[in-house]
Chain A
Amino acid sequence: MLAKRIVPCLDVRNGRVVKGKQFKHLQDVDDPVSLGKFYSDQLADELVFYDITATHEKRHIFLDVVRAVAETITIPFTIGGGIASIDDFHQVLRAGADKVSVNSAAVRRPELIREAAQRFGSQCVVLSIDAKRDNHGSWQVYVEGGRKNTGIDAMAWAKQGVALGAGEICMNSMDADGEKAGFDLDLNRRLASELPVPIIASGGAGTMQDFKDVFDTGVDAALAASVFHFGQIDIPDLKVYLQEQGIPMRGAEV
């Protein structure tokens, strides 16, 4: 049976991981390769690295990170942040990434999804969406790091993205993000039941129970950052817990 995936997400600025605390067996917690390997050794199923470097001139530093990660890490990883063109896709895939996540640029120019899917295959195109609940029981798409409301319906955009060729949807719930009060279950349940591609739920993880609840909505993967980076949840413990709750997990043989 296909296992559900646990996906730690690392924000990288100027080649260094932005948040993180001290881990016992890890000397350089700010090094994306060391931290990525640490999670990989802990049986994380996949990693996401977001480039949040402000300036385009420093892009080559991030590409060096991607290459170093590809050399060292033996699980799939996704690259996101600042992906705006087919050439950006090409560069990170050539550097060794398995998937590329696109967000604002796809809202500006949806054809980017189609072009990337045709050129590189749907399986490596992840449409990442920042969504916020409105007053009418729907969710709206935000861009520019969540600063700008586009007025676009998030469910409709997710469906359009899949129709254009996105192979996966990563839905970041802005209401839940950072609150550690659980994933947005309504949004994820709708996505999982209405879309034919894997859904990665993002935003809101606080406890192990939150992961159980979001997997019960039918999503395929759950992404989180701070609960892992600050050591609040230990991935091996989480996997054993979820396996005991009947959710198929890789590497949780008890």
Chain B
Amino acid sequence: MKIAVIDYEVGNLANVYHAWKRLGIEAVITRDASVIRDADLIELPGVGAVRDAIGNLEKFDLIPLLEEQVKAGKFFMGVCLGMQLLFEQSFEGGTYKGLGFLPGDIVPFHTKLKVPHMGWNALEFRQDHWLKKNLPKEPYVYFVHSYHKAPAATPDVIATADYGEPVPAICGLNNVLGFQFHPEKSGRVGQQLLKNVVDYVKQEG
């Protein structure tokens, strides 16, 4: 099982690396095209602002490569800001074009609750999905975000979390998957979700 974690200088990748390591997988943090093409799974992590993130993907000329890999059917997983980049556009501090691997937009919260949505919230699955395997009844995961995917009731929305409204927490279609929360910081539930991903990719590959 080869995992390429895209290194585009957005956020600290050590925690992402350690999470795979705990599952016995030595992920490679890279922006080398041949390593990325050779991987079974590509992870796009990310913390920070969408403007810098998209800017860096462009700077390192990664967008055509990622498009090529997704088209070829490679399993592609975005986490947190990395998930938000999967959609068509983001309205975080302006209007930015995303990768467009999933349909929908990234919009600010309209809630009286505190923003960012930060802390542990429970996943509510909208579909019967292989990711549910071995999860507890109330799978709490760790969120930190100020923007979210909209709309929330589309076929790509696998699970939501209740924060005044249903907030898309896991999104995906075919070989593309996004976690709005941080599985690498979500205790046993997070580890189980990553393990489910590994099992799925192994089985499909």
A residues at B contact (CB < 8 Å): 1-3, 5, 40, 43, 45, 70-71, 74-76, 93-96, 98, 121-123, 167-168, 196-198, 220-221, 250-251, 253
Q: Is the CB of A196 within 8 A of B114?
A: yes
Q: Is the CB of B119 within 8 A of A94?
A: no
Distance between A116 CB and nearest chain B CB, rounded to angstroms: 14
Question: Which of B14, B47, B138, B191 sits near A96, CB closer than 8 Å?
Answer: B14
Question: Which of A98, A121, A251, A253 sits near B48, CB closer than 8 Å?
Answer: A121
Distance between B185 CB and nearest chain A CB, rounded to angstroms: 5
Q: B137: which A residues are within 8 A, CB to CB?
A: 253
Give the number of A-B contacts (CB < 8 Å).
Answer: 77
With CB as the reference atom, state the residue of chain B lying closest to A93.
B12
CA separation between A9 and B122, bound complex, in Å? 24
What does DSSP make chain A's interface, helix, strand, loop or mixed?
Answer: loop
B200 interface residue per 8 A CB criterion: no
Q: Is the CB of A74 within 8 A of B14?
A: no
CA separation between A196 and B113, bound complex, in Å? 9
CA separation between A117 and B142, bound complex, in Å? 21
CA separation between A9 and B116, bound complex, in Å? 23
What does DSSP make chain B's interface, helix, strand, loop or mixed?
Answer: mixed
With CB as the reference atom, state the residue of chain B lying closest to A197.
B114
Interface size class of B (residues with CB under 8 A): 20 to 34
Distance between B103 CB and nearest chain A CB, rounded to angstroms: 27
CA separation between A114 and B122, bound complex, in Å? 32
Q: What are 30 A-B pairs at a CB distance below 8 A?
A: A2-B117, A2-B121, A3-B119, A5-B119, A43-B187, A45-B119, A70-B14, A70-B15, A74-B19, A74-B22, A74-B186, A74-B187, A74-B190, A74-B191, A75-B186, A75-B187, A76-B185, A93-B12, A94-B14, A96-B12, A121-B48, A167-B116, A196-B114, A197-B114, A198-B114, A198-B118, A220-B114, A250-B120, A251-B140, A253-B137
B162 interface residue per 8 A CB criterion: yes
B31 interface residue per 8 A CB criterion: no
B73 interface residue per 8 A CB criterion: no
Q: B22: which A residues are within 8 A, CB to CB?
A: 74
Q: B142: which A residues are within 8 A, CB to CB?
A: 75-76
Q: A3: which B residues are within 8 A, CB to CB?
A: 119-122, 140
Distance between B16 CB and nearest chain A CB, rounded to angstroms: 11
Distance between A201 CB and nearest chain B CB, rounded to angstroms: 15
With CB as the reference atom, state the residue of chain B lying closest to A3.
B120
Distance between B59 CB and nearest chain A CB, rounded to angstroms: 19
Question: Which of A45, A71, A98, A121 sits near B120, CB closer than 8 Å?
Answer: A45
- 5 shortest interchain CB distances as A-B pairs: A250-B140, A250-B120, A3-B120, A123-B144, A74-B187
